């Protein structure tokens, strides 16, 4: 799997107005303790607070990071200290916050509304960061701090997770948010794991390097050749990206962009890197090495993967690199592929509904390699990075065959494989 689950959630844009209305309904507290009700002044206060905290992260300054936290709540201070310590363990060469336009309503948590008399604000914030020697550009991660007016100033009162707000992206699913992490750098990867797994990290690092070797044989250029891998026991990050699907996948490769695309509709986001998140249930699985090859292939093709890339081509390529020349057994094919709709290659919108679509896509990609070599497979893949045109045009331009004729060849091969079983 690679893409974020398409979250069709309407973005609740309360551009300053909603927050102001809440504050306006509170009556008139004593002069001098009024929060700024002017949206511009309030946003300026938020931006200043965020700049201070980002600098504290860059400077490894815990006191500076906690200076804007509501110190009257020990659990909050402990959680923010943990976040700071996690960030400090990561090899970051950039870290800034950018205040976005969206403002969210806090769902639930009446205790916070009570404590701060309703004076809470949840702005959309992009974290711009770069993992040293891994990311090609600064990556943007969604973050929604809970800010509260207390003691005559705005203070950090928490961090929203995806269940706290109706945001189009999960704001609380970064590896530094939550349980303590440990970080292991390998020659070509940065691995985040749980501290209790430090004894296993060497073995995982070896598997990561071997998987990178396999992917680099297929794709020696066109990407950094380096990966950021999250292999923590906490399921929050995986569930944040996949929701209910999290139990079904061994891992997910999440493309990172220079902005949070869901917060910039209509803009072209630039590719920054890929985070590979391993399902905690699969960490001790003997199939982990193959899973790493699959997900790293997505990372390797990340710079040339766009919304126009057919899902069958994206997944089929990853399965092809994962399994190499292993033949899909005829017995397996008869059991799983007989009776499948072969009128067209697996369509994007229903691709992830059936695991057999991976097999059908593998057969299509193997057919491409048999006829046109790996250069043909990569060539047609790269075509979609440059064109929004119909797939048929890409097949004709790159391979000299129509999509319909290629589909007929693929259909015949699937039917022959099933018939042999």
Let me know: does 319 contact 273? Beta carbons within 8 Å: no
Task: Report, in Å, the least distance between residue 357 CB and Zn ion.
Answer: 11
**DSSP 3-state assignment of 16?**
coil
List the beta bridge partners of residue 149.
154
Q: Quick one: 313 or 399, whose CB is closer to Zn ion? A: 313
Task: Report, in Å, the least distance between residue 122 CB and Zn ion.
Answer: 33
Q: How many degrees, rounded to 5, is the angle at CA 280 between CA 278 and CA 281?
A: 115
Rounded distance, CA 173 to CA 241, Å? 8
Rounded distance, CA 42 to CA 189, Å? 41
Q: Quick one: 358 or 406, whose CB is closer to Zn ion? A: 358
Task: Report, in Å, the least distance between residue 211 CB and Zn ion.
Answer: 14
Name the closest residue to Zn ion (Cβ). 318
Of the candidates 294, 303, 205, the residue with the CA atom closest to the CA atom of residue 252:
294
Q: Quick one: 122 or 319, whose CB is closer to Zn ion? A: 319
Contacts with Zn ion by CB under 5 A lie at 1-2, 315, 318
Q: Quick one: 130 or 294, whose CB is closer to Zn ion? A: 294
What is the gyration radius of the CA atoms in the chain, in angstroms? 24
* Burial of residue 350, with CB atoms counted within 10 A of its CB: 0-12 exposed, 13-18 middle, 19 or more buried: exposed
Let me know: does 194 contact 179? Beta carbons within 8 Å: yes
Task: Report, in Å, the least distance between residue 123 CB and Zn ion.
Answer: 34
Of the candidates 82, 149, 150, the residue with the CA atom closest to the CA atom of residue 122:
149
Rounded distance, CA 283 to CA 245, Å? 17
Q: Quick one: 23 or 255, whose CB is closer to Zn ion? A: 255
Q: Quick one: 318 or 414, whose CB is closer to Zn ion? A: 318
Task: Report, in Å, the least distance between residue 348 CB and Zn ion.
Answer: 13
Let me know: does 401 contact 372? Beta carbons within 8 Å: no
Other CB atoms within 10 Å distance of the CB of residue 380:
23
Q: Quick one: 63 or 349, whose CB is closer to Zn ion? A: 349
Task: Report, in Å, the least distance between residue 294 CB and Zn ion.
Answer: 6
Task: Report, in Å, the least distance between residue 177 CB and Zn ion.
Answer: 25
């Amino acid at each position: 799997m690679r893409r974020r689950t398409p979250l069709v959630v309407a973005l609740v844009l309360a551009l300053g107005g909603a927050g102001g209305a809440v504050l306006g309904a509170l009556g008139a507290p004593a002069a001098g303790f009024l929060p700024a009700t002017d949206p511009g002044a309030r946003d300026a206060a938020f931006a200043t607070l965020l700049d201070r905290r980002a600098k504290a992260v860059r400077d490894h300054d815990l006191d500076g990071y906690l200076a804007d936290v509501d110190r009257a709540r020990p659990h909050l201070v402990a959680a923010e200290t943990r976040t700071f310590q996690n960030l400090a363990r990561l090899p970051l060469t950039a870290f800034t916050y950018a205040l976005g336009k969206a403002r969210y309503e806090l769902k639930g948590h009446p205790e916070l509304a009570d404590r701060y008399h309703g004076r809470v604000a949840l702005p959309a914030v992009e974290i711009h960061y770069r993992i040293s020697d891994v990311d090609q550009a600064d990556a943007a991660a969604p973050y929604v701090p809970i800010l509260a007016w207390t003691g005559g100033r705005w203070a950090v009162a928490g961090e929203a997770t995806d269940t706290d707000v109706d945001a189009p992206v999960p704001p609380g699913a970064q590896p530094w948010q939550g349980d303590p992490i440990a970080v292991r750098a390998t020659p070509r990867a940065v691995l985040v794991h749980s501290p209790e797994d430090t004894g296993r990290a060497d073995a995982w690092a070896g598997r990561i390097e071997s998987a990178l070797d396999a992917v680099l044989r297929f794709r020696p250029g066109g990407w950094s050749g380096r990966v950021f891998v999250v292999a923590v026991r906490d399921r929050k990050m995986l569930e944040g990206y996949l929701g209910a699907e999290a139990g079904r996948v061994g891992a997910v490769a999440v493309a990172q962009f220079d902005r949070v695309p869901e917060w910039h509709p209509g803009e072209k986001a630039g590719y920054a890197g890929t985070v590979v998140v391993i399902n905690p249930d699969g960490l001790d699985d003997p199939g982990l090495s193959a899973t790493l090859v699959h997900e790293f292939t997505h990372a390797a093709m990340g710079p040339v993967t766009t919304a126009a890339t057919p899902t069958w081509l994206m997944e089929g390529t990853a399965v092809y690199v994962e399994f190499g020349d292993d033949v899909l057994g005829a017995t397996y094919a008869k059991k799983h592929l007989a009776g499948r709709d072969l009128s067209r290659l697996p369509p994007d919108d229903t691709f992830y509904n059936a695991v057999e679509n991976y097999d059908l896509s593998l057969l299509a990609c193997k057919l491409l390699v048999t006829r046109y070599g790996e250069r043909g497979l990569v060539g047609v893949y790269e075509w979609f990075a440059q064109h929004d045109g119909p797939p048929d045009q890409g097949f004709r331009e790159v391979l000299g065959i129509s999509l319909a004729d290629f589909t007929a060849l693929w259909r015949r091969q699937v039917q022959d494989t099933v018939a042999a079983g």
